[in-house]
Amino acid sequence: MKKSLFISFMITAAILTGCGNNAEVTGAEVDQEATEGTTNAPETSATPEPTKEPKAKKLAKDEQIALDYVNIYINGTDAEANKKFVADHIHPDAIPLFSMGVDIIDESDNMSNPTVKGSAKYDDPDLKGVITLVEDDNGAGVIVLSVDGKIAMAYSSSDTVEEMKAAYDEMKAKIK
């Protein structure tokens, strides 16, 4: 957003400078003209200084797959992209379940600005994998269980089935 604001400012400055003057103006001259004032006012930048955003941490493979699950499978509107996601990223044992889900997910399930909040190893006597918590701005969450780099199960914070909600709560407690 800040880059587009800066670029639009630069284009506007170039147009205004070009209209008042028949000389050709380069981008460097526009930068210089935009930052140099003709008044004796204190020096201020024409554009606001960018705020320091925390560097996005590099996600592990299982975390990226969990985030893709939310962005493509849950939030996505392209049925073909969802089917491709299921074929490429869902564990073979879970493909029938997730294939049925492609047709029943609607916009009420969407998550606003999902982010990975954490992950942990999942070590059950019958199953070993990684659990990843993805939450949105509204506090809605999904925990994705991946096994061998593919999604085996997903648990939602808004699940109405008591056993699934209990599994979500138990797994969330394991993620720090």
- Structure tokens belonging to residue 52: 């320091």
SS3 42: coil
CA separation for the pair 168, 13 (Å, rounded): 53
45 in the same domain as 107? no
102 in the same domain as 170? yes
- Structure tokens belonging to residue 93: 């044992």
Instruction: Choose the weakest-confidence range: 62-66, 98-102, 127-131.
Output: 98-102
Whether residue 44 contacts residue 34, with contact meaning beta carbons closer than 8 Å, is answered with no
pLDDT computed for residue 11 by the predictor? 38
Band (40; pLDDT cuts 50, 70, 90): low
CA separation for the pair 13, 103 (Å, rounded): 50
155 in the same domain as 136? yes
pTM of the model: 0.66
pLDDT at 155 over 50: yes
CA separation for the pair 112, 115 (Å, rounded): 9
135 in the same domain as 83? yes
SS3 36: coil
The DSSP code for 90 is B
pLDDT at 79 over 90: no
Q: 49-76 pLDDT, tens per residue?
A: 444 445 567 999 999 999 999 999 999 9
Q: Between these two residues, 27 and 115, which has the higher pLDDT value?
A: 115
41 in the same domain as 68? no
31 in the same domain as 81? no
Q: What is the mean pLDDT of the chain?
A: 76
**Containing structural domain, residue 151:** 61-174
88-92, Cβ contacts within 8 angstroms, sequence gap of 24 or more: 89/65, 89/150, 89/151, 90/150, 90/151, 91/146, 91/147, 91/148, 91/150, 91/151, 91/152, 92/150
Number of domains in the chain: 2
Domain assignment present for residue 56? The answer is no
pLDDT computed for residue 94 by the predictor? 94
Instruction: Choose the weakest-confidence range: 62-71, 98-107, 141-150.
Output: 98-107
148 in the same domain as 105? yes
CA separation for the pair 60, 74 (Å, rounded): 20
CA separation for the pair 140, 132 (Å, rounded): 14
pLDDT computed for residue 38 by the predictor? 47
Whether residue 150 contacts residue 91, with contact meaning beta carbons closer than 8 Å, is answered with yes
